[in-house]
């Protein structure tokens, strides 16, 4: 995979510097001209800690000037995400299942448009393929961002997270790795299966979703947010995956893509209990200071998904 296309003066300067390591301290003075410019720059800098780029030396991951730029961008991102959050809900902390009950109620009560309902009943094949292109940026590295938190957790949530991750990574079978199943589905419906193939096409909201997950995963202090995000994702996945599978079946899309979503109907029904009760619940019990960030991560997951859904539904309605 090669570097994406720049989307403004900052990304243009940073991407050029990636071919001239080490980057001279203080040389990257360009400012982002838009959220899009900032988002693609941060996304690319985070990507250096995943699989990297074929045309960039691996030493770029720890270049001090690039880290300075990354830090400024992720600080702005975190401040913006936190400004949207109203804080944790009130609930009975003395109740044995207080957090878990409150979490499921919070997720269920969160208001936002549903892409899965639209796909289930109304979406065209072209619209579903658009959605799959956008979703590929995350699903082809599925569970990788939260994997950064594993060594940062107390014993009980660490063990529970590894139980969930074992499923996500195919139970030791490469052909069952969820990211691999999604890639097979993409190929079967005529889309490119290689990682980040569509990064130049996705809107800022998709980049922001992925940047938030990387931000939470790569910072130890945000381990609670990473796990809260995971729990909200799993708690809102099973039924939408069923709708997605049924909508794709309605359109006659390839079985490989439908089977990816069918795989998650049952798996995520189990994972949501594991993520909320056994991962987040035990983390908060062991480290009470992480609780606010668990809620912050959950809100961010739901909020960013709702924003992307609203954006796509508006685009599709306008083009209808």
For residues 78 and 102, state if they share a domain: no
- Looking at the structure, do residues 40 and 119 belong to the same domain, yes or no? no
Q: Are the beta carbons of 170 and 177 closer than 8 angstroms?
A: yes
CATH code of the domain containing 269: 1.20.910.10
Same-domain pairing of 19 and 106: no
Residues 29 and 71 in one domain: yes
**Of 84, 107, 127, the domain-final residue:** 84
Rg (CA), the chain: 20
- What spatial distance separates the first Cα and last Cα of the chain, rounded to whole Å? 34
Residue 256 phi, psi dihedral angles, 5° rounding = -60, -35
101 close to 95: Cβ distance less than 8 angstroms: yes
For residue 107, with 0-12 CB atoms within 10 Å meaning exposed, 13-18 middle and 19 or more buried, which class applies? buried
Cβ atoms < 10 Å from Cβ of 311 = 16
96 pLDDT above the threshold of 90: no
**23, 57, 84 - which closes a domain:** 84
Is position 270 within any domain? Answer: yes
| 4, part of any domain | no
Number of domains in the chain: 2
- Centre a 10 Å sphere on the Cβ of residue 177 and count the other Cβ atoms it contains: 17
The upper half-sphere exposure of residue 292, i.e. CA atoms within 13 Å in the direction of its Cβ, equals 6
Q: Is the pLDDT of residue 144 over 70?
A: yes
C-alpha 216/C-alpha 169 separation (Å) is 20
Same domain, 141 and 174: yes
Q: Within this chain, do residues 46 and 102 fall inside the same structural domain, yes or no?
A: no
Residues 179 and 294 in one domain: yes
Share of the chain above pLDDT 70, in %: 99
Residue 59: give the domain boundaries: 9-84
> How high is the pLDDT of residue 264?
79
pLDDT of 92 reads: 84
What's the pLDDT tens digit per position in 249-268? Answer: 999 999 999 999 998 787 66
- The region of weakest confidence among 100-109, 121-130, 311-320 is 311-320
Chosen domain end from 27, 50, 84: 84
Residues 159 and 266 both lie in one domain:
yes
Rounded to the nearest integer, the mean pLDDT of the chain is: 94
Given a cut of 70, whether residue 85 has pLDDT beyond it is: yes
Which tens digit of pLDDT belongs to each residue from 178-191? 999 999 999 999 99
- Report phi then psi at 248, rounded to 5: -70, -35
Task: Tell me: do 218 and 298 sit in the same domain.
Answer: yes
- The pLDDT of residue 314 is 94
Average of per-residue pLDDT across 168-187:
92
User: What integer is the mean pLDDT of 33-42?
Assistant: 97
The whole-model pTM stands at 0.95
Q: Are residues 127 and 165 in the same domain?
A: yes
């Amino acid at each position: 995979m090669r570097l994406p296309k720049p989307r403004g003066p900052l990304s243009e300067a940073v991407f050029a510097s990636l071919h001239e390591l080490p980057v001279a301290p203080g040389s990257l003075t360009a400012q982002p001209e838009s959220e899009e410019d900032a988002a693609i720059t941060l996304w690319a800098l985070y990507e250096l800690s995943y699989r990297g780029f074929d045309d960039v030396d691996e030493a770029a991951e720890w270049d001090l000037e690039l880290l300075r730029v990354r830090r400024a961008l992720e600080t702005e991102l975190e401040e913006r995400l936190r400004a949207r959050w109203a804080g944790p809900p009130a609930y009975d902390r003395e109740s044995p299942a207080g957090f878990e009950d409150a979490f499921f109620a919070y997720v269920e009560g969160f208001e936002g448009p549903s892409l899965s309902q639209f796909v289930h009943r109304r979406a065209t094949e072209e619209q579903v393929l658009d959605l799959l292109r956008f979703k590929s940026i995350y699903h082809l590295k599925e569970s990788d961002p939260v994997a950064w938190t594993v060594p940062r957790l107390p014993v009980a949530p660490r063990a529970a997270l590894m139980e969930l991750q074992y499923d996500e990574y195919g139970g030791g079978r490469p052909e069952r790795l969820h990211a691999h199943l999604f890639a097979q589905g993409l190929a079967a419906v005529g889309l490119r299966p290689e990682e980040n193939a569509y990064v130049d096409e996705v809107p800022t909201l998709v980049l922001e979703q992925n940047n938030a997950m990387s931000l939470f995963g790569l910072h130890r202090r945000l381990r609670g947010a990473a796990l809260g995000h995971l729990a909200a994702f799993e708690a809102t996945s099973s039924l939408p995956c069923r709708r997605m599978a049924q909508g794709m079946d309605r359109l006659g899309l390839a079985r490989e893509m439908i089977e990816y979503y069918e795989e998650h109907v049952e798996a995520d029904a189990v994972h949501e209990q594991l993520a909320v009760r056994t991962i987040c619940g035990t983390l908060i019990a062991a480290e009470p200071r992480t609780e606010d960030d668990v809620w912050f991560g959950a809100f961010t997951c739901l909020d960013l998904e709702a924003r992307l859904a609203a954006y796509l539904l508006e685009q599709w309605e306008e083009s209808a």
